[in-house]
């Protein structure tokens, strides 16, 4: 199984691994940029190509 969070780098999970998901104590404003390639551009600029 592979875990990917927020479209960032993924990691392989092994048998026995666990994932804890919890609610953040502060609210977060989310913005939608339409069909923007924002994260693709950011990964390229930072050299985080998958």
Answer whether residue 23 is part of any domain.
Answer: no
Answer whether residue 21 is part of any domain.
Answer: no
The whole-number pLDDT of residue 3 equals: 81
The answer to whether residue 49 scores a pLDDT higher than 70 is no
Answer whether residue 40 is part of any domain.
Answer: yes
28 HSE (CA, 13 A, CB side): 5
Answer whether residue 22 is part of any domain.
Answer: no
User: Model pTM greater than 0.85?
Assistant: no
| Mean pLDDT, residues 34-41 taken together | 78
Task: Give the total number of structural domains in the chain.
Answer: 1
| Short-list 3, 38, 43, 36, CA closest to 19 | 3
Cα gap 32→34, rounded to integer Å? 6
The whole-number pLDDT of residue 17 equals: 92
**H/E segment holding residue 44:** helix 38-46
| Mean pLDDT, residues 15-33 taken together | 85
Give the range of the structural domain holding residue 1, as residue numbers without chain letter.
1-12+28-50
């Amino acid at each position: 199984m592979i875990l990917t969070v927020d479209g960032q780098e993924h990691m392989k999970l092994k048998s026995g691994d666990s994932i804890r998901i919890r609610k953040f104590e502060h609210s977060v404003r989310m913005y939608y940029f339409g069909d923007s390639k924002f994260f693709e551009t950011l990964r390229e600029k930072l050299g985080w190509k998958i």
